[in-house]
Structure 1
């Protein structure tokens, strides 16, 4: 279920249908310096997945990175009641059932700032996405802001990826670009992210970028200029 990406960082994918479209989503797991686990964008939990996580460490943080990646949070909180839940601005109003959720801030939380830097990507309030940089593996962790749909896909998914401009390349989907409300804010956020020396990019949908990752993100962010 869990696949290693680099030391202390793993991922797990989940295939499902969204409005009739076959898609996949990715959860990223980071083991922090204290040995605890940080979960980004949880996918459905299973007994096997839970056992795998237990072999890696104790789940301490569960993170909803934007206002659209939140569907499975309740199940994870039941499975790991000791974990702290974090979510984007606006998610509490959308999910009032998620009691005790802490709103993500523009800067990293004390509990993970030794391992992860973060930037709130401003100017797209529909998603209110936060972006992370895993320092030790030089990995950028995105969710919906950039996507890269590759591999053998059903026809509907292939057509959608072509339409949104993310088929076989890393790009900001047209569906995200159409939601920009403040272009100057997006430019400022993109500039902050490009200050990180990342060499790998993890996105939720669907490919991990290992080759020329920094250049790929820089070219993708050119749409905000």
Structure 2
């Protein structure tokens, strides 16, 4: 079931296997002041979760936040056909099968602004990750940019996380580091993230940082300043 993080903010984890490696991913649900719901990075939704969402509000926006996080968007859109579906730049060309998919606006204020802010993290075109900030809860929402595979995990997941540099600490994964196309642009985007007054960080894989732990994000993003 959905787990409440704080007022108007919930999450749901999903465990699956990708190329033999056990993964977990997280959907974040943001409720706007008027009751509309934003589903960030959808995961499979059971009938019980669907009912819970309908009790919380009206699912109005389905958000695919990067060119990597889109696997379950089509089935989510089928469950909530009244919702508008938005994807990161470049995703429309990759997922032509998702009916009604629109690009997340970058030059105009979208319907969820100013309660939910976002911008494109530049310099990594293979990802084109949009980073998000929920102002009311001072929460930063990330997908793949920073990860920390903490806690009890299957053996192969522990091995993969160790090789990727995200088992023992919050970090920019090695796979992301190797995908940087423009280091200067990435550094500017990292600095822009740190300008938000965040007090919580939600990652898709797999931690939620709160209180003093949020400092670990700055330490992770420092890797962009070193390049």
Q: TM-score range by the shorter chain?
A: over 0.9
Structure 2 residue runs of 5 or longer lacking an equivalent are: none
Once the 2 structures are TM-superposed, how far is the Cα of residue 74 of structure 1 from its aligned partner? 1.3
User: Does 2:224 correspond to 1:220?
Assistant: no
| Native 8 Å contact 1:29 1:38 kept in 2 | yes
In structure 1, the partner of 2:2 is 2
In structure 1, the partner of 2:197 is 197
Structure 2 vs 1, CA of residues 140 and 183 (structure 1 numbering), >3 Å: closer, same or farther? same
Rounded Cα–Cα distance in structure 2 between residues aligned with 1:10 and 1:157: 25
Rounded Cα–Cα distance in structure 1 between residues aligned with 2:172 and 2:110: 30
Structure 1 residue runs of 5 or longer lacking an equivalent are: none
Rounded Cα–Cα distance in structure 1 between residues aligned with 2:119 and 2:186: 11
Aligned ranges 1:10-21 → 2 under 5 Å? 10-21=10-21
Once the 2 structures are TM-superposed, how far is the Cα of residue 22 of structure 1 from its aligned partner? 0.4
Which segment drifts farther, 73-82 or 3-12? 73-82
Once the 2 structures are TM-superposed, how far is the Cα of residue 215 of structure 1 from its aligned partner? 1.9
Q: Secondary structure at the match of 2:12?
A: strand
| Native 8 Å contact 1:107 1:117 kept in 2 | no
- TM-score, with normalisation over the residues of structure 2? 0.96
| Native 8 Å contact 1:108 1:118 kept in 2 | no
- TM-score, with normalisation over the residues of structure 1? 0.97
Structure 2 vs 1, CA of residues 189 and 108 (structure 1 numbering), >3 Å: closer, same or farther? farther
| Native 8 Å contact 1:119 1:192 kept in 2 | no
Aligned ranges 1:68-107 → 2 under 5 Å? 68-106=68-106
User: Does 2:145 correspond to 1:149?
Assistant: no
In structure 2, the partner of 1:121 is 121
Rounded Cα–Cα distance in structure 2 between residues aligned with 1:181 and 1:165: 20
Q: Secondary structure at the match of 1:209?
A: strand
Rounded Cα–Cα distance in structure 2 between residues aligned with 1:127 and 1:43: 18
Aligned ranges 1:154-193 → 2 under 5 Å? 154-193=154-193
Q: Secondary structure at the match of 2:209?
A: coil
In structure 2, the partner of 1:64 is 64
User: Does 2:223 correspond to 1:209?
Assistant: no
Structure 2 vs 1, CA of residues 173 and 107 (structure 1 numbering), >3 Å: closer, same or farther? farther
Q: Could you list the per-position Cα deviations for residues 13-61 of structure 1 after superposition, in whole angstroms to 9, with x for gaps in the alignment?
A: 0000011000100000000011110000000121011011011001000
Q: Secondary structure at the match of 1:166?
A: coil
Rounded Cα–Cα distance in structure 2 between residues aligned with 1:223 and 1:22: 26
Which segment drifts farther, 167-176 or 109-118? 109-118
Count of equivalent residues: 225
Rounded Cα–Cα distance in structure 2 between residues aligned with 1:151 and 1:219: 20
RMSD: 1.2
